[in-house]
Structure 1
């Protein structure tokens, strides 16, 4: 019997239903509960339920399966509550959650916890009430002063939370008091579960229907309140806003209550009119998002863009995934818009993924003008309630098209036709912590397969893997090699920092080429972007006498100096401390900042160019909800002359007046110890360079380097992606890296360094026995060997792309990890799996 048939059966056709429930716990299975008879006709797959888990925990779960088979090894408890009569998660999504759990080697509960917005989860809070058999006035028990206060408050309010009681008696720790009252039989404890999501409501006012229907009655009313000018003013204000006799249907909607206070009218008179039944006060649920008219204008494509679009459509006839390799400024967005419009006209849903929240700011305002209220936006800067509203908007069909960051892959689509993954090469699509450690680009392929949809990958600098698959025919490949309109690619210049330092030409850490180019741009009233992929004031402080460097007390890293807040901060665990006035090793006050972060660049540029406005855009300046929008709008409006930033400024943004980009320190990116360092440097440099000269005027890019002879620099300068790709592919083939292999990174953590090492050695040896020594690398200490007071060791597993059973290998890895954790002395270790880690 199918699941849908099972759901449609009535309670008379079957005696007992059982529900397998996905719970947000790191245990690799679903849990079976008995469905109460009253829920038989409405329980459905994808609905949320409240269940008891263990002796005391109350959890929110989602029904993953309905069936008639009781569990063999335990007696099923009843579902406590059914929260939804319609699914909040589609059946296709449950398949996706299971695939993610299997592929990324985590539990279904961990995936659910990530997928479901916090506002759709429930919170439980302990509550206290009087015992129904307790009579305070007849009781012969002794109660102290605080117990008495609690009982008297309960007699009045019936139910109190722990927090209420704590405030009542002005005492933080109240458990002993509650325990005493329970022991004396005075109170009972229970868990009250509350749904976090609350719809936004608006209070409105309307004229009573009897008055709205009878003009004479209304005229009579005005005569009766002739000597009450405040009440008369309120009624006149309402009738000006709602002409009830010309448009009687508008009275039902009324007007916002706030409009009366905005008009400086008497609130007490308004209350009187409501009390007397002349006006009615009511509430309506409203959207948290502004309303936009759906213009749905056709986008005019150039001949080159139209040709690219035709090639995409032709490619989709044969392949489900296609790669649009279009240089920066080539007009990929217009092609996306045209494809989205066609998909929506065909009644399909569309998901448009972007790697950074920063990118949504400009693109959203642009797409709103075209798609209006049909488009939803989904990212982590939204509040819980806003994200739930978008989730429910997708479920209800309000949003046919969603633009969002990686978490948008979890939205409850039921009819996806097209997924666009813009800047597909971006590492931001990869989730690193906590589990599931998924890549949204790769997950989109699975979603598309479930929905029989198409995926379009877009990039000016495709990932090596995507380009490899496109070159080998697995994906379709469409090239777009000309900038949109009359735009040209910028000119490049490399500043030799070693030569300039030897000749003492540097101003701080700025080359003469970059300073002169900035001066010229500012004199022409043009704007400048300076890119440095490191936030903070400087990487670290150092004592100039003994070389002491302040370190994080939880992690094996130096603390980054942030001048703005006058603190040292760890970018791994968040630990912070005040800047030391003297060296803690030798006592010297000769402390110096080493290196440049975005904050220090901002300060240096402000000193070099005191009459212009410099602004920084990095994680520190964009923590607040609307920070991105504010900075970008200020830059667009010309209120900022130089924008200094991390990779946030490198992609997707389109500014008419930017004709100069400075890449401050390319060497640091190139020499980062990661097999992808050259790839990421090429991508970031190309992306940030694309911000220069995007209209009629040709832009300029200055790259500062200490090694100007590096081959990759000439590839960046000449925009020669193909040469870069061939070199990189040869290196990957030689050393056995993706796309020729799959990688699984296994991280072993323990608060004791020796235990972490012992567990890692044992695990590596077991894996070598099972998989072969050539496939198992390590164990080794990672670059950062201690984070949040846990010592780390890594084992890397390299697997061939073909002729290997990946599922079987993953099962072996998990079994060997479990064997290590069961060994005495190693149980305190944690073993984390990261599939496709880089």
Structure 2
């Protein structure tokens, strides 16, 4: 055997990332037929445990067998070329380490489910079955059906056997050795295929085609089909066009054409059908718009950002609401694309993508890909593959878009960078897309532009300290004035009996005037549903969730009570469940009740509601925004969806309800969130010079200092006070926070585990850095009791070493016998 032969026989092994929460990579043996072909970043199918079939990612290829276990063989290699780039694998690793989770959890969130293999359990006849006498008459029928069909899925077997619970039947047949259960593995993604029709090559010839038209005069229905085809494909004039054909659906759109006549022409060999793989994203045949003309302040901002990028990798663009930050972004995107780089434009909400995508598509055409959760699995896979192939140079997306396979990023824009929705809450990884974008940019040598009218305290602090560049746009586009903000004292209005339900008399007058002027209004209430809870006047019963320590929200349209934490639903009770009284009433109000009350006050007004309940479908956002833009809606009621980046010409009035609840929320970020949210929603008003904007805030405390800052649009003054308080009490950006939450079905166990955790941590890191344990605002979710331990560390400490100790401490607690069944959730940099 020569040296080359010897090298070919060397056994290869692959370390793979499994999409499950295990703390390390697992090593699998590479079958001989894949040796030398398997690549880092490719997907493979492997067996994990006795029965589990999963899609894994190759992270490393080597020749060292594992020492602790016998390596199983890789079952299948799915990709000839890597589906995940080396940059992505580096990002997975960083997120896993920084956010203290397993790399498989990162992979699970990063890959669209259409790229993950699903395994479907099936049953087949056991060829070694020797005792048919053991079977009942019904079981014999079922086994014969399985033999006849070769295999059946569990669902197919249940339908044939006409049973709801098929598992008992399967268990019986397995016990008698009559059947074998196996996993059929299939890839979820499937390309979109269009069936097309064209003339066969003989009839594509103009002379033969003319003769055919004459022959079909005796069959008028078949002739109609042929003439319809020639309407779309001018084969007589240009025979080459026939190759492309036309979709079969062309004929079904015309009710006068006969389906059977088309089938006859196919059978005769006059037409032939063929399949074509097409994009799921419709080609934009509209007019390509020109680049927007910049005002002088916008031009200056583009120049300043470009100059700042020469010295800083990250720049904060602080522009008042309506300053025209989007136009600045567009010019910077064009610069990056012209240099051959990729661009990622992150937005915090799907609602924002709707309006902006239409605009950017008109400018950048088919180079733009869109990526968010309202897209189907197949659509997201198509964008993923489009980025890999270079079809999409520029992607607009929400937080999950950071995981796309970019390899030459030049610019990342994080719009509304202050938004909490950039943070993933559940499941792990609990990453922050803005902070992860900074890491991706560092890896690929890209620049990051953070944009906001109300920057996060952390980002503005970094800009003030010189870590980020800072560019400011302090005036609105087109010399439009910032809206005038007025406070309505509803405590005084109640004393004067001027309140009509949840509306002050002044607000109702302003709403009526706006309707008379045919101008539009946005009403903001950051609580969806009809009412936060039901209560009984006789015994003070409150509707509460059985699984969570929260009240059930009443949704009137569906006539049910819902938990917004676990999804539990109940029918509306006719009498009080506690005392039987019929005196049940709603307490408080949400967007659904506001919508109903508005309709009562203004029956002729056209009112729409934008919240999670009304925008579940993929096209709901688009339709609402289109209706509002075209003036078909007079009043838009909504949650914080209406506060972010939406730009409407005719909005001259914004009304804000329940501001006190936001301001007084028990959290160190509540003041910051209130300033941001109230300023942002106020900024939807008066965005054009010819239409002055007004904002009415209903509050019980008109003297609250944060409201004065909002009225005067004084971000710097707000920041100066807030940063001083953060420093005094040791909160970010002066410290880093890790929140550890124990969860258990038993309250005492959850509390004891949290206490043990805190005690162990105190011994090592000191009392000033460990707070708790304490109950969170919602003490029980999904029947599990929660207790928080908060860790605060100075920024100059070795965070990596601290995290290692924290992980070891957590492991010590969860492996203690008395805390069996406890789970501990780690949230690094909670928001």
Whether the 8 Å contact between 2:410 and 2:447 is mirrored in structure 1 is yes
Q: Secondary structure at the match of 1:250?
A: helix
Q: Secondary structure at the match of 1:825?
A: helix
Deviation at 1:183, TM superposition (A): 5.1
Is 1:250 matched up with 2:241? yes
Whether the 8 Å contact between 1:11 and 1:41 is mirrored in structure 2 is no
Partner of 2:196: 204
Out of 428, 431, 437, which is 2:424 matched to?
431
Whether the 8 Å contact between 1:26 and 1:107 is mirrored in structure 2 is yes
Partner of 2:738: 744
Q: Deviations over 1:729-788 (max 9, x none)?
A: 111111111011100000000000000011011000000011111100000011110000
Partner of 2:374: 381
Is 1:154 matched up with 2:168? no
Whether the 8 Å contact between 2:739 and 2:827 is mirrored in structure 1 is yes
Out of 26, 29, 32, which is 2:24 matched to?
29
Partner of 1:4: none
Partner of 2:273: 281
How large is the Cα RMSD of the aligned pairs? 1.7
* Higher mean displacement: 656-665 or 14-23: 14-23
Is 1:173 matched up with 2:165? yes
Is 1:307 matched up with 2:317? no
- Alignment size in residue pairs: 825
Q: Secondary structure at the match of 2:695?
A: strand
Partner of 1:702: 696
Q: Deviations over 1:290-327 (max 9, x none)?
A: 11158373332111111111110111001110000000
Superposition pairs for residues 567-606 of structure 1, below 5 Å? 567-606=560-599
* Distance in 2 separating the partners of 1:554 and 1:15: 56
Q: Deviations over 1:158-215 (max 9, x none)?
A: 2211211111111233344434544555433321011111111111000001221x33
* Higher mean displacement: 575-584 or 16-25: 575-584
Whether the 8 Å contact between 2:206 and 2:235 is mirrored in structure 1 is no
Counterparts in 2 of 1:11 and 1:409: CA distance versus 1, 3 Å: farther
* Higher mean displacement: 139-148 or 234-243: 139-148
* Higher mean displacement: 89-98 or 36-45: 36-45
Q: Secondary structure at the match of 2:71?
A: coil
* Distance in 2 separating the partners of 1:206 and 1:501: 75
Is 1:443 matched up with 2:471? no
Is 1:540 matched up with 2:525? no
Counterparts in 2 of 1:84 and 1:798: CA distance versus 1, 3 Å: same
Deviation at 1:114, TM superposition (A): 0.5
Out of 759, 762, 779, which is 1:765 matched to?
759
Q: Secondary structure at the match of 1:467?
A: helix
Deviation at 1:75, TM superposition (A): 1.5
Counterparts in 2 of 1:555 and 1:183: CA distance versus 1, 3 Å: closer
Superposition pairs for residues 629-668 of structure 1, below 5 Å? 629-668=622-661
Partner of 1:675: 668
Whether the 8 Å contact between 2:16 and 2:57 is mirrored in structure 1 is yes
Deviation at 1:10, TM superposition (A): 11
Deviation at 1:578, TM superposition (A): 1.8
Deviation at 1:95, TM superposition (A): 0.5
Where in structure 2 are there 5+ consecutive unaligned residues? Answer: none
Whether the 8 Å contact between 1:11 and 1:40 is mirrored in structure 2 is no
Partner of 1:83: 78
Whether the 8 Å contact between 2:134 and 2:176 is mirrored in structure 1 is no
Deviation at 1:14, TM superposition (A): 6.1
Out of 394, 400, 421, which is 1:401 matched to?
394
Whether the 8 Å contact between 1:10 and 1:40 is mirrored in structure 2 is no
Whether the 8 Å contact between 1:208 and 1:278 is mirrored in structure 2 is yes
Is 1:107 matched up with 2:98? no
Counterparts in 2 of 1:581 and 1:184: CA distance versus 1, 3 Å: closer
Counterparts in 2 of 1:670 and 1:284: CA distance versus 1, 3 Å: same
Deviation at 1:74, TM superposition (A): 1.2
Superposition pairs for residues 45-60 of structure 1, below 5 Å? 45-60=40-55
* Distance in 2 separating the partners of 1:105 and 1:148: 54
Partner of 1:228: 219
Q: Deviations over 1:576-631 (max 9, x none)?
A: 21222222333322222221211111111111112212221111111122111111
Partner of 1:476: 469
* Distance in 2 separating the partners of 1:267 and 1:584: 60
Q: Deviations over 1:318-349 (max 9, x none)?
A: 11100000000001000100111111111111
Deviation at 1:392, TM superposition (A): 1.1
* Distance in 2 separating the partners of 1:315 and 1:100: 28
* Distance in 2 separating the partners of 1:77 and 1:790: 38
* Distance in 2 separating the partners of 1:539 and 1:57: 43
Whether the 8 Å contact between 1:10 and 1:41 is mirrored in structure 2 is no
Whether the 8 Å contact between 1:18 and 1:33 is mirrored in structure 2 is yes
Deviation at 1:469, TM superposition (A): 0.2
* Higher mean displacement: 804-813 or 124-133: 124-133
Q: Deviations over 1:667-702 (max 9, x none)?
A: 111000111111111101110111100112220011
Whether the 8 Å contact between 2:252 and 2:259 is mirrored in structure 1 is yes
* Distance in 2 separating the partners of 1:442 and 1:273: 61
Is 1:714 matched up with 2:705? no
Is 1:193 matched up with 2:188? no
Whether the 8 Å contact between 2:43 and 2:78 is mirrored in structure 1 is yes
Q: TM-score, normalised by structure 2?
A: 0.97
* Distance in 2 separating the partners of 1:611 and 1:357: 31
Is 1:38 matched up with 2:41? no
Deviation at 1:711, TM superposition (A): 1.2
Partner of 1:622: 615
Partner of 1:93: 88
Out of 772, 782, 788, which is 1:778 matched to?
772
Counterparts in 2 of 1:300 and 1:146: CA distance versus 1, 3 Å: same
Out of 248, 258, 262, which is 2:253 matched to?
262
Partner of 1:827: 820
Q: Secondary structure at the match of 2:407?
A: coil
Superposition pairs for residues 453-532 of structure 1, below 5 Å? 453-532=446-525
Partner of 2:724: 730
Superposition pairs for residues 338-353 of structure 1, below 5 Å? 338-353=331-346
Deviation at 1:222, TM superposition (A): 3.6
Q: Secondary structure at the match of 1:792?
A: strand
Whether the 8 Å contact between 2:298 and 2:328 is mirrored in structure 1 is yes
* Higher mean displacement: 623-632 or 828-837: 623-632
Counterparts in 2 of 1:26 and 1:270: CA distance versus 1, 3 Å: same
Out of 330, 333, 338, which is 1:337 matched to?
330
* Distance in 2 separating the partners of 1:615 and 1:20: 53
* Distance in 2 separating the partners of 1:454 and 1:182: 60
Q: Secondary structure at the match of 2:806?
A: helix
Q: Secondary structure at the match of 2:180?
A: strand
* Distance in 2 separating the partners of 1:438 and 1:449: 17
Q: Deviations over 1:225-264 (max 9, x none)?
A: 4422222222222223212242222111100101112223
* Distance in 2 separating the partners of 1:175 and 1:620: 36
Out of 209, 220, 225, which is 1:218 matched to?
209
Q: Secondary structure at the match of 1:203?
A: strand
Q: TM-score, normalised by structure 1?
A: 0.96
